[in-house]
Amino acid sequence: MNPKELEEMLTTGNDLKKENGDNQRQVARGDGGTGDLKEGASVMRTIAWGPSMVLLALFMVSSAGAQAPAPRARIYVADAGNDRIARIDDMTGKGWITLGSFGHGTNQFSDPRGIFVDTAERIYVADTANYRIVRMNDMTGAGWTTLGTRGSGVHQFGEPVKISVDAAGKIYVADPENNRIVRIDDMTGKGWITLGSFGHGTNQFSDPRGIFVGTAGRIYVADTANYRIVRMNDMTGAGWTTLGTGGSEANQFARLIGISLDGAGRIYLADDGLSSIARVDDMTGVGWTALGSHGSGAYEFSRPIGISVDAAGGIYVADSGNHRIVRIDNMTGKGWTTLGSLGWGKNQLSLCGDIFVR
């Protein structure tokens, strides 16, 4: 019997046993009436639906409708000062695993400051001081593939610092030294296209250090030295919209670097200069909420430069100057949890450059 049938038995007039005042058994029907208890199927049904079985049925119906909680996302960190990336299962440090050492070859990094994980769980890294981007299949380094050399031409980067991937698998890179963003179709470099030049107007950037692509395919950029965030529809710059000025009040920034979106399209920001994070509902700046001040305690940051949001709305921050990552349930700071201290061992970090949860 499936849960729907159980529920119908309880609610649509099936017979339940009761005792009347004369101690003669009758049946109470779902329509409120009663009748004499009959032999055969009715007896069996009445016996089967005694009080203990009713409780059991109710439990089965409610249990059938319940869903197991979704597994919490894994946490990926670009551990820039240790020239490696790290992955953990949760904020206890469970499942700690790292990949990388200093160098320029396979499974080596130099100051990696950006990290992203696609839906196939492939890992993308902005290998900053190697002037390249890297993709691998998993934390073993399998499928290691790189693209980039130093420069300002095709397949070249001046300083790749953040990386994002859209739903179609196209790869986006923030290249602040060249005051531009880059998009490629895949790791062969096919479809190379750039947008930006130095300036303060439309289709111009000044030291853009953060990038994120939303589920609708729109591109969000932390235009750091212009003290603003930028949103555009595509790599033509269509729909160019900005928010922000320099300062420390609502919708103002000092050194904006980290940028991410949640499932509702709200924008999350990590401001290195203000030692704080912020959230806005949209590009009008409505719903501005900020959290943090400079320090190393609860609700304090030192150089927060990466931010990510999980499917449940939990917020993760790369608190670089404190050599730790932080997780909070929401923008009130509820559930404040940290992991990390300065070092190169297990659950230790050095100037963590970015964070991503998947």
Q: Which of 154, 151, 152, 188 is nearest to 169 (CA)?
A: 188
Around Cβ 102, how many Cβ atoms within 10 Å?
A: 12
User: What is the pLDDT tens value at each position of the chain, 358 positions in all?
Assistant: 444 443 444 344 443 333 334 333 343 333 344 444 333 333 333 334 444 444 444 444 344 444 444 456 899 999 999 999 999 999 999 999 999 999 999 999 999 999 999 999 999 999 999 999 999 999 999 999 999 999 999 999 999 999 999 999 999 999 999 999 999 999 999 999 999 999 999 999 999 999 999 999 999 999 999 999 999 999 999 999 999 999 999 999 999 999 999 999 999 999 999 999 999 999 999 999 999 999 999 999 999 999 999 999 999 999 999 999 999 999 999 999 999 999 999 999 999 999 999 9
In contact, 352 and 80? CB cutoff 8 Å = yes
In contact, 239 and 230? CB cutoff 8 Å = no
Longest dimension (CA), the chain: 97
The DSSP symbol for 51 reads H
In contact, 303 and 272? CB cutoff 8 Å = yes
Paired tokens of 162? 């953040």
CB-facing half-sphere around the CA of 89: CA atoms within 13 A:
5
Whole-angstrom distance, CA of residue 231 vs CA of residue 280? 13
In contact, 173 and 163? CB cutoff 8 Å = yes
In contact, 63 and 52? CB cutoff 8 Å = no
Question: Any idea what the Cα angle at residue 107 is, between residues 101 and 109, rounded to 5°?
Answer: 50
Whole-angstrom distance, CA of residue 170 vs CA of residue 217? 10
Question: Any idea what the Cα angle at residue 135 is, between residues 133 and 140, rounded to 5°?
Answer: 130
